[in-house]
A and B are shown apart, each in its own frame.
Chain A
Amino acid sequence: MGFEQFGIISFTSTTKTAQFVDFLKENEIRGTVCKECGARFFPPRSDCSVCLSDEMDWFPISGEGTLLTFTKAMFAPAGFEKDAPYILGVAEFADGVKVFGRLDKALPDDSVKPGMRVKIHVVALEGDRLSYELTAA
């Protein structure tokens, strides 16, 4: 399987960034960095919108970040109903790289606040699927 292995339901099967899933298998969440101009991207891109290069390297998102905002979705769109409720949020890591994703379900509601310190890790989902989530640092 390639990129369709990413997330609870994937709507994309073919992308030049499919190697993202190979890194998930190695327990790493990676973005791309332009070899020409050094621009960093998350989510990963295969083409640089700054200098137009298509030469990209991968860099790991690691260490601690800060949760910028979040919401607890009490209802879910079609196909995700059994997961609800779940928390979605955006966090900022080193070099201003931001990550959108779900938060760890085990976190107590009152512990989730903008400004909280978070880290990111890979999660294995049922059906041999892979994703990442944010949890307390």
Chain B
Amino acid sequence: MARVAVIGVGQSAFVRSYPGSIRELAFEAYREAMRDGGLKPGDIDASVICSAPEYDKQRTPAGLMAEYLGLNPQPTFYVESVCSSSSSGVRTAYALIASGLHDVVLVLGFQKMSEISSAESQERMGRGGDIQWEAPFGTMMPAYYAMHAKGHMEKYGTTEEDLALIRVKSSAYGAINEKAVFRKSLALEKVMEPKYVATPLKMFDCCANADGSSCLILASEAKAKELFSKPVWVLGLGMATAPINMAMRDTFSGLKCAELAAKKAYEMAGITPKDVDVAEVHDCFTIAELMAYENLGFAEPGQGRELIRNKETYKEGRIPVNVDGGLLSKGHPIGATGGSQVRTIVLQLRGEAGEMQVPGARVGLVHNIGGVGIYGNVTIFGAE
């Protein structure tokens, strides 16, 4: 298999309300990634633009972005898998490069969620479920994940406090990430305040909407070595899907798509969960991180709580997870999230993660889920 590297990463600050348009928001991540890689617009052979279209007034945003970023007349197109869009973009870019069609491909993710109200946003994201058979009951993302939290608690005895401990960890790292939207450190008592959104999930079990952008530049082995001194290699890519309708699911204590995607990614990389030094997982809700521990093989099914109780997923622990604050604290601008997770891992593997650095990290993993386990992307990266 051809080797593909990441040679440039960028991310805007994630904020509640970005004071500019989507093209300007996108340019922030783009500028940082291009400067990081020491690249000019002419070096980019094609671009893949990723977001969740329900937030955009702009139709067909790829065309707009290619123009504003200065990437005409090179090919561009749009890739979407809701919250997992930019990981699907990475998968697409990998294929474009490994096939030999292009040498250098840019993956841009963005979302400006602040233009619509929270209730409107919940309604639109709820329509990321089955609109014919589920949305008529009044569905929304927190309720879907809450049913998984209830399922996990029922099957394994996981508690609300276990979930709260995940948010406490997240907030500690959000506080030291200058690009995070939520920078307050939270005490357990605060997270446990009974402000339920959808039982058993409370306010602090949920990530906040944010505006943000991310940008990654991927390259073939030859180009990577020519253009960049510290390439980080894509070692494995796994993707799997599961039914959109809850009535078609077999389990409510994990996400099947994540488990299958992880298996494929580990196989392709030729590694096991024990080989992962640092991971970014899709913690749109605290329960999502707990299920990820188990679906990724960091813990046996039902034992995820032991990892957080014993602080094994802190920076100093056995398997550091989301030491950049994760979606819960860094923020979750839908289309930008996967690219931001990859950026964190790339910086970790280059030894450039600053205060968040996991010493000696050589292998990193990104787990990025679209919808409530509709799309699962797991991507593994390695330092030279």
In the complex the two chains form, is A83's CB within 8 Å of B131's CB?
no
**Residue total for A at the interface (Cβ-Cβ under 8 A):** 39
Q: Is B198 an interface residue (CB 8 A)?
A: yes
In the complex the two chains form, is A131's CB within 8 Å of B245's CB?
no
Q: Is A6 an interface residue (CB 8 A)?
A: yes
Interface string of A1-45 (1 = CB under 8 A from B): 001001111111001000000000000000000000000001100
In the bound complex, CA of A86 to CA of B138 (Å): 9
**Interchain CB contact (< 8 A) of A8 among B133, B137, B147, B148:** B137
Q: Which residues in window 47-70 of B have CB below 8 A to A?
A: none
Q: Is A90 an interface residue (CB 8 A)?
A: yes
Interface string of A103-137 (1 = CB under 8 A from B): 00000000000110000000000000001000000
In the bound complex, CA of A131 to CA of B133 (Å): 11
In the complex the two chains form, is A100's CB within 8 Å of B245's CB?
yes
**Given A78-B120, A78-B122, A101-B137, A73 and B142 contact (CB-CB distance below 8 Å):** yes
Q: Is B28 an interface residue (CB 8 A)?
A: no
In the bound complex, CA of A115 to CA of B153 (Å): 13
CB distance from B18 to the nearest CB of A (A): 22
In the bound complex, CA of A134 to CA of B33 (Å): 52
In the bound complex, CA of A9 to CA of B139 (Å): 11
- In the complex, which residue of chain A has the Cβ closest to the Cβ of B150? A69
**Given A77-B122, A77-B126, A88 and B247 contact (CB-CB distance below 8 Å):** no
- In the complex, which residue of chain B has the Cβ closest to the Cβ of A91? B247
Q: What are the residues of chain A within 8 A of B120 when measuring CB–CB?
A: 78
In the bound complex, CA of A90 to CA of B131 (Å): 16
**Given A73-B143, A88-B147, A98 and B197 contact (CB-CB distance below 8 Å):** no
Q: Is A94 an interface residue (CB 8 A)?
A: no
**Given A71-B143, A100-B245, A100-B246, A114 and B138 contact (CB-CB distance below 8 Å):** no
Q: What are the residues of chain B within 8 A of A52 when measuring CB–CB?
A: none
**Interchain CB contact (< 8 A) of A68 among B131, B149, B252:** B252
In the complex the two chains form, is A72's CB within 8 Å of B147's CB?
no
In the bound complex, CA of A74 to CA of B139 (Å): 12
In the bound complex, CA of A8 to CA of B132 (Å): 12
**Given A11-B131, A72-B199, A90-B252, A79 and B123 contact (CB-CB distance below 8 Å):** yes
In the complex the two chains form, is B136's CB within 8 Å of A88's CB?
no
Q: What are the residues of chain A within 8 A of B137 when measuring CB–CB?
A: 7-8, 88, 100-102, 131
B interface residues (Cβ-Cβ under 8 A, vs A): 117, 119-120, 122-123, 126-127, 130-140, 142-143, 146-151, 154, 196-201, 245-249, 252
> Would you list 13 pairs from A and B whose C-beta atoms are within 8 A, ordered by A residue?
A7-B135, A71-B147, A71-B150, A74-B197, A77-B123, A78-B123, A80-B138, A81-B119, A88-B138, A88-B139, A100-B246, A114-B151, A131-B136
